[in-house]
Chain A
């Protein structure tokens, strides 16, 4: 998109929307939409409140715990499915089902099994993130050129050397892509988990704000959440770019 002969990047259009938001808010056109400036100042105020800070700590803690669990279990599981046919035959069906099923329906189950606290949220994050990590890891492992494996065997690689020096590296681009998608899903998991549990972390905050019609703070919280999701996705993309140089040459 060019404007007066200068190439304008795509994300710049978001600025246009922000301006639009400000105008709409000022004119009080939509009941629920305060002007952007109000939202931003509410955000600044919000991050200084202890309730937000403790909610953030709870949320982040649950998020990272759940993500670490899903990576630590998901990547080896994906490698297993990629290398061992029986495991793939038996588990593949379920991984596929759960990766596109409405997992939110399972959150009530998590709630009665783990209670109304942080453990449920961790479980929700884990549940949301793991399937895509397994699928992507498996795909990466399956796409490894067989002659690379043969080469390692022909030079006497032990099983450990094979997995650590060859398989993990060859599948790394897909594994990272899977983790990125897993992170995005994990964020959705933490939000949905907290919305449903509603007395923990951000869920509680959302509940408070919406019940009391504190829209500016509601939107502020939403923006902070969205920004967080996009930020971590961007970070992983940087990591993916680091291995990009060989992803294409495989």
Chain B
């Protein structure tokens, strides 16, 4: 059953392939066309808001104004300070633990046999169901939210690292051994560098998953930060503010991923490795 490994890492591969190097991808498009696309999106939103599609559907301009207002009165930045803490902590922990476990499983057959099926199941299954449960053990504080981030980010990081390490270029490993490299040297000088592009791709996916985790945590566990803003404005029917907050977190997630992708292409140069 190759379900798990072929899930999100494949999805990432396709998203990046269509965004990198091909005609019609992100970096290739002229800025003009992208601006037209954004304008079109805003325009449709505006019209939909004016029809109105629903009483609870504010126009683009109303949302944008609300967004500015939220920044101005400080509630949005404050909310992010609260939200980003478990997010960053969770991602850092997931990265360290994930890369470590993934490398272990890639190199050690028994570890692979024991752990990888678990992570495959965790990645394919809707682990969001666990998040409410996390609160029972860890309460409603930062720990619970960090754990929520980790539950979602860890499997994808482990699986990508594992896949990268397992699929290392064999001839390079043989070459290192032929020049009398020790096991440690093989791992640090050959395996990890060769695997680093895919590991980084896994990290990028982990960050995306982390955002999902923190949003879920805030909506399901207890709202602080962004989740609090969302539910607060919803309860007061300030739909424009609510939409603005939601749009901001989606925008933040998107921007973070774009930056990471840019780093991936620039630093790791997958095209020179025949990826």
- Whether A and B touch directly in their complex, counting CB atoms under 8 A apart, is answered as yes
Interface of A with B (CB < 8 Å)?
Answer: 1, 8, 10-14, 16-17, 31-32, 85, 88-94, 96-97, 99-109, 112-113, 132, 135-136, 138-139, 142, 177, 180-181, 184, 187-188, 190-192, 195-196, 206-207, 210, 213, 218, 221-222, 225-226, 229-230, 233-234, 237
Interface: B181 (CB within 8 A): no
A10 to B234, CA, bound (A): 47
Q: Are B130 and A222 in contact (CB under 8 A)?
A: yes
Interface: B57 (CB within 8 A): yes
The answer to whether A135 and B129 touch (CB under 8 A), given A90-B40, A102-B212, A108-B230, is: no
Residues in B neighbouring A190, C-beta threshold 8 A:
126
Q: Are B29 and A89 in contact (CB under 8 A)?
A: yes
- Minimal Cβ-Cβ distance residue in A for B212: A102
List 9 contacting pairs A-B, 8 Å CB cutoff, sorted by A: A13-B116, A99-B15, A102-B214, A108-B231, A136-B14, A177-B10, A184-B7, A195-B128, A225-B126
Q: Are A97 and B18 in contact (CB under 8 A)?
A: no
The 5 A-B residue pairs whose C-beta atoms are closest, nearest first, are: A1-B113, A191-B126, A226-B125, A102-B211, A88-B24
Q: Are B220 and A195 in contact (CB under 8 A)?
A: yes
A191 to B132, CA, bound (A): 12
| Residue among B14, B33, B126, B214 with most chain A CB within 10 A | B126
Residue B24 contacts which of A85, A109, A188, A222 (CB distance < 8 angstroms)? A85
Residues in A neighbouring B38, C-beta threshold 8 A:
93
Q: Are A139 and B18 in contact (CB under 8 A)?
A: yes
Question: Among the listed stretches B167-175, B187-195, B242-250, B266-274, which one makes contact with chain A, having 4 or more residues with CB under 8 Å of it?
Answer: B242-250
Residues in A neighbouring B236, C-beta threshold 8 A:
none
A112 nearest CB across to chain B (Å) = 4
SS of A interface (majority): helix
- Minimal Cβ-Cβ distance residue in B for A132: B11
Q: Within residues 97 to 152 of chain B, which ones have a CB less than 8 A from any CB in chain A?
A: 109-110, 112-118, 121, 124-126, 128-133, 136-137
A210 to B137, CA, bound (A): 12
Q: Are A181 and B10 in contact (CB under 8 A)?
A: yes
| Residue among B18, B56, B214, B220 with most chain A CB within 10 A | B18
The answer to whether A108 and B234 touch (CB under 8 A), given A13-B113, A226-B121, is: yes
Residue A105 contacts which of B10, B17, B116, B215 (CB distance < 8 angstroms)? B215
Q: Are B121 and A230 in contact (CB under 8 A)?
A: yes
Residues in B neighbouring A11, C-beta threshold 8 A:
1, 117
A138 nearest CB across to chain B (Å) = 7
A108 to B228, CA, bound (A): 12
Q: Are B2 and A105 in contact (CB under 8 A)?
A: no
Interface: B216 (CB within 8 A): yes
Interface: B208 (CB within 8 A): yes
Q: Are B118 and A17 in contact (CB under 8 A)?
A: yes
Interface: B34 (CB within 8 A): yes
Residue A102 contacts which of B56, B129, B215 (CB distance < 8 angstroms)? B215
Q: Are B212 and A104 in contact (CB under 8 A)?
A: yes
Interface: B41 (CB within 8 A): yes
Interface: B253 (CB within 8 A): yes
A107 to B219, CA, bound (A): 10
Residues in B neighbouring A102, C-beta threshold 8 A:
208, 211-212, 214-215, 249-250, 253
Residues in A neighbouring B3, C-beta threshold 8 A:
230, 233-234, 237
Q: Are A112 and B212 in contact (CB under 8 A)?
A: no
Q: Are B254 and A135 in contact (CB under 8 A)?
A: no
Interface: B239 (CB within 8 A): yes
Q: Are A104 and B250 in contact (CB under 8 A)?
A: no
Q: Are B14 and A135 in contact (CB under 8 A)?
A: yes
B261 nearest CB across to chain A (Å) = 10
Residue B110 contacts which of A1, A31, A234 (CB distance < 8 angstroms)? A1
Q: Are B257 and A100 in contact (CB under 8 A)?
A: yes
Q: Are A32 and B126 in contact (CB under 8 A)?
A: no
Q: Are B113 and A113 in contact (CB under 8 A)?
A: no
Residues in B neighbouring A139, C-beta threshold 8 A:
14, 17-18
Q: Are B118 and A101 in contact (CB under 8 A)?
A: no
| Residue among A92, A94, A206 with most chain B CB within 10 A | A92
- Minimal Cβ-Cβ distance residue in B for A94: B41
Residues in B neighbouring A99, C-beta threshold 8 A:
11, 15
Q: Within residues 1 to 32 of chain B, which ones have a CB less than 8 A from any CB in chain A?
A: 1-3, 6-8, 10-11, 14-15, 17-19, 22-26, 29
The answer to whether A195 and B129 touch (CB under 8 A), given A94-B41, A113-B56, is: yes
B87 nearest CB across to chain A (Å) = 10
Residues in A neighbouring B124, C-beta threshold 8 A:
184, 229-230, 233
Residues in B neighbouring A180, C-beta threshold 8 A:
7
Residues in B neighbouring A107, C-beta threshold 8 A:
219
Interface: B182 (CB within 8 A): no
Residues in B neighbouring A142, C-beta threshold 8 A:
18, 22
Residues in A neighbouring B110, C-beta threshold 8 A:
1
Q: Are A32 and B114 in contact (CB under 8 A)?
A: no
